[in-house]
C-alpha cells in the first residue's frame, strides 16, 4: 500500500524528533545503517512520484545528524 506524501512527511517529521535520541552512542556505521533501513522502508511506502521528495527530506535529516546524505 502506498501512502500519501503528507503522511510520509509526518513520519519523517517524527523521525526528526526521535532519531537523534535513539542514535546516542551509535557508531557512524550504525547510524548510516539505520538511516539506510529507514530510507528503504519509506521509499517502499511512498508513491513513485514522491521518491525524490522523500530522498530530499531524508538528506536534510542526515545532515542534521552530521551524517553523509543517504
Please report the pLDDT score of residue 9 as a whole number: 96
CA 13, distance to chain mean position in Å, is 9
Q: Is the pLDDT of residue 61 over 70?
A: yes
Q: Is the pLDDT of residue 54 over 90?
A: yes
CA distance 63 to 60: 5
Q: Where along the chain do its domains lie?
A: 5-64
Angle between helices 51-64 and 28-45 (to 10 degrees): 160
Please report the pLDDT score of residue 53 as a whole number: 96
**Residues 6 or more apart from 50 whose CB is under 8 A from it?**
5, 8
Please report the pLDDT score of residue 70 as a whole number: 55
Q: What would the pLDDT profile of 11-30 be if each residue is shown by its tens digit?
A: 999 998 998 888 888 888 89
- Could you tell me the pLDDT band of residue 51, with boundaries at 50, 70 and 90? very high
Amino acid at each position: 500500500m502506498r501512502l500519501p506524501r503528507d503522511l510520509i512527511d509526518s513520519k519523517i517529521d517524527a523521525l526528526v524528533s526521535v532519531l537523534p535520541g535513539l542514535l546516542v552512542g551509535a557508531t557512524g556505521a550504525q547510524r548510516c545503517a539505520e538511516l539506510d533501513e529507514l530510507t528503504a522502508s519509506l521509499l517502499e511506502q511512498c508513491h513513485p512520484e514522491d521518491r525524490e521528495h522523500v530522498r530530499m527530506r531524508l538528506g536534510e535529516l542526515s545532515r542534521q545528524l552530521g551524517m553523509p546524505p543517504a
